[in-house]
Copies of this chain bind each other. A is one copy, B any other.
Amino acid sequence: MPAEDSAGRRRRGPSMADVARLAGVSGQTVSRVANDRNNVDAVTRDRVQAAMRQLGYRPNSAARALRNGEYRSIGVIVFELHSFGTTRTLDAIATAATISGYAINLVPVLDVTQSAVTSAFSRLGEQAVDGVIILIEAHTLDEAGVRLPHGLPVVVVDSSAHYDYPIVDTDQRQGARLATEHLLGLGHATVWHLGGPPTSFAADRRRRSWEATLLDHGREVPPVFDGDWTATSGYEAGRQLAVNAEVTAVFVANDQMALGLLRALHEHGRDVPGDVSVVGFDDMEEAAHFWPPLTTIRQNFVDVGRLSVDALIREIHAGEHHHEPVAVAAKLVHRSSTGPAPGR
């Protein structure tokens, strides 16, 4: 339990009443000063502010939230901050929320098990939040069943349209098409794919769009390799791709796996982009300094974050709901890891 003072009472900060007493005014006047209302005499205001400073007064946000029925805080459920995309999106969400005057309540899912997700959701039920943004990959969500308190506004950052909640995400379809067509445009007969985990909707979208693009152009669709977003999984898949001489172009579902692939290609003495061209996805800051610098699809995480906060706040205030999924455009960043098909 918290520290207590000599009388055995909980140590709490000074309240409005304390400030009021010191300044010789009523609590209500203190409230008015604290909230910047204009109908307070300048002299009185100064006196109150001096008293606040002297006592180190800070408003009690619990009381305020109780009174106003609003926490001005939004919960963000995340599963590990290892993934580059999640981290950047969280950053953007935090920034957007702060600008809109909302605090961020970070609710981590401790491990991949279903019970961890369920427990994160139930923790959230007791949290002081007005709404929730879900940043974990969808399949986990599905399995846990939607155990979120009814009536809590929710926005999902993901690529499935299967939820009862508003959705904001990068336009995976368009991004993957950009990558694939870039490689085809360089004269490669076809494009191989190193995908994300099959359980991720984002990975699924990228894979489908890659496939559709190939078919649109009348190309063969090579078998897919699946990774788990980590560089290590990219390296492992890469060891198989590297020994296959037919492989001249690979679209990798994220930059980290692309890094692993590059390493595998180097180890097998295959030149990039001379023998094999590689395109990533995300455009993490490091990608520009991979060896060789990675051509990749840049996601606009700032917009994703901002738009999900906007959507959530709209839902909180107006009870609005169920708009079209919001898709944020991605763009191709051309660097040195892609070049013309060999012998062309």
Q: CB within 8 Å of B: which residues of A? A: 1-3, 10-13, 56, 58-63, 65-66, 69-71, 73, 76, 80-82, 87-88, 90-91, 94-95, 98-99, 103-108, 110, 123, 125-128, 130, 149-151, 230-232, 234-235, 256, 259-260, 262-263, 266, 285-286, 288-291, 293, 316-319
Contact = CB atoms under 8 A, between A and B. Distances in A.
Contact of A128 (B62, B232, B285, B286): B62
Interface centre among A151, A230, A316 (most CB of B within 10 A): A151
A151 B317 contact: no
A337 B12 CA distance: 55
22 contacts: A1-B70, A2-B130, A3-B318, A61-B62, A62-B66, A62-B128, A66-B66, A76-B106, A81-B90, A91-B108, A95-B108, A98-B107, A98-B110, A99-B110, A103-B107, A104-B105, A105-B105, A256-B286, A259-B286, A259-B290, A263-B289, A291-B291
Tallying the copies of this chain within the complex gives 2
B127 A61 contact: yes
Contact of A108 (B3, B65, B94, B130): B94
Nearest to A149: B58
A52 to B, nearest CB: 11
Q: Is the interface of A mostly helix, strand, loop or mixed?
A: mixed
A275 to B, nearest CB: 15
Contacts of A130: 2
Given A128-B128, A266-B291, A2 B88 contact: no
Contact of A125 (B58, B90, B106, B285): B58
A87 B127 CA distance: 23
A80 B98 CA distance: 13
A302 to B, nearest CB: 12
A234 B289 CA distance: 9
Contact of A151 (B56, B73, B99): B56
B61 A63 contact: no
Contacts of A76: 106
Contacts of A110: 95, 98-99
B128 A65 contact: yes
Residue among A91, A125, A286 with most chain B CB within 10 A: A286
- Interface-centre pick from A69, A110, A256, A260 (highest chain B CB count, 10 A): A69
Given A82-B91, A105-B103, A128-B62, A231 B289 contact: yes
Contacts of A151: 11, 13, 56
A243 B336 CA distance: 22
Contacts of A293: 263
A82 B232 contact: no
A22 to B, nearest CB: 16
A73 B127 CA distance: 10
A256 B234 contact: no
